[in-house]
């Protein structure tokens, strides 16, 4: 499938704000174009919404621009493929240099994700001018064929098929320009593009989060046995450096810390060559497929 590059992270992930909404209120229209290789919505689809709602209230409250330093997300359920997400945020700690914001994301049926975002004020100038707080209501994503997923296939075999292009990598991974390498560890590579940029001209934190979380998702898939599925339940990412979005390829290198019958613990690091960009940990819940 060929993916046409979107204009920015908000249009790509269908994130925006309804007319008349408060600054700390945003929406996201999910759809097949944000599903993974199983045809499901998982945590990586929510990171742009979480990152942006988590940073806006603090950024808007002070005289200098701010950037996210860390996101911590906990999934409370799995949203339906075409669910509408409503996100709210509240600054719970703030001073001249740092802030912490609590985030809650809900559907019409209840809460699906909660967590915190830690921000830091920076001295660099913005690349994009204008009032970046005023983002429009999103357009619902267009439909995309969902992958054919056989839960009877062992996870390692499935990710090897994906790496060999014998099974679909999923719409979200395609959006990210993603590819897989499976050896002793699972490596997820992302080809950057201008649409991934933030107002400072480097990769948007939510896109970094999506790429790292997607790599961790494939790592979790790789350890499942036939008949067992998974969901990323908890995810924490530290942003160390944001890459340029000039077509270079960055890679997410994953490793398994420990797996049990019900929970697996994984870590990942994103690199641009030898430069470490982000460090993340995740827990996956193993569930009946």
CATH classification at residue 110:
2.40.160.210
Torsion of CA 1, 287, 221, 272, to 10 degrees: 90
Nearest to 202 by CA among 169, 250, 234: 250
pLDDT in tens, 223-260: 999 999 999 999 999 999 999 999 999 999 999 999 99
CA distances from 3 to 12, 142, 170 (A): 11, 11, 11
Tell me how many domains the chain contains. Answer: 1
- Residue range(s) defining the domain that contains residue 83: 9-126+148-288
Average pLDDT, stretch 8-34? 94
**Position 4 in a domain:** no
**Position 143 in a domain:** no
Average pLDDT, stretch 164-192? 97
**Position 133 in a domain:** no
**Position 75 in a domain:** yes
- What's the sign of the alpha-carbon dihedral 131, 29, 2, 220? positive
What is the spatial distance between Cα 66 and Cα 232, in angstroms, rounded to a whole number? Answer: 28
What is the spatial distance between Cα 83 and Cα 5, in angstroms, rounded to a whole number? Answer: 23
Q: What is the pLDDT of residue 126?
A: 57
What is the spatial distance between Cα 145 and Cα 152, in angstroms, rounded to a whole number? Answer: 21
**Position 132 in a domain:** no
Q: What is the pLDDT of residue 134?
A: 60
Instruction: Quickly count helices (H) and strands (E) in the chain.
Output: 5, 12
What is the spatial distance between Cα 275 and Cα 289, in angstroms, rounded to a whole number? Answer: 37
**Position 119 in a domain:** yes
pLDDT in tens, 106-154: 999 999 999 999 999 987 655 544 344 567 788 877 667 787 789 999 9
State the pTM of this model: 0.94
Q: Is the pLDDT of residue 5 over 80?
A: no
**Position 206 in a domain:** yes
**Position 134 in a domain:** no
């Amino acid at each position: 499938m060929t993916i046409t590059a979107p204009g920015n992270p908000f249009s790509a992930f269908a994130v925006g704000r309804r007319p008349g909404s408060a600054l700390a209120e945003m929406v996201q229209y999910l759809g097949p174009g944000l599903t993974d290789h199983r045809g499901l919505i998982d945590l990586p689809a929510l990171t742009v919404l979480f990152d942006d709602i988590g940073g806006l209230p603090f950024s808007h409250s002070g005289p200098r621009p701010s950037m996210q330093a860390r996101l911590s997300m906990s999934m409370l359920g799995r949203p339906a493929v075409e669910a509408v997400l409503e996100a709210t945020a509240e600054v719970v700690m703030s001073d001249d240099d740092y802030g912490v914001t609590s985030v809650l994301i809900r559907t019409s049926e209840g809460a699906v994700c909660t967590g915190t975002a830690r921000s830091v004020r920076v001295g660099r100038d913005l690349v994009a001018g204008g009032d970046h707080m005023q983002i429009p209501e999103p357009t619902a994503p267009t439909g995309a064929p969902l992958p054919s997923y056989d839960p009877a296939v062992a996870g390692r075999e499935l990710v090897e098929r994906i790496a060999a292009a014998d099974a679909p990598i999923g719409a979200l991974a395609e959006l990210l320009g993603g590819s897989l390498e499976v050896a002793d560890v699972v490596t997820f590579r992302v080809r950057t593009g201008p649409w991934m940029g933030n107002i400072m001209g480097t990769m948007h934190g939510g896109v970094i989060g999506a790429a790292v979380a997607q790599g961790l998702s494939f790592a979790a898939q790789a350890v499942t046995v036939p008949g067992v599925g998974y969901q990323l339940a908890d995810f924490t990412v530290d942003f160390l450096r944001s890459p340029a979005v000039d077509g270079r390829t960055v890679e997410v290198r994953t490793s398994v810390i420990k797996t049990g019958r019900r929970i697996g613990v994984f870590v990942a690091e994103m690199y641009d060559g030898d430069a470490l960009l982000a460090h993340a940990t995740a827990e996956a819940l193993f569930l009946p497929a």
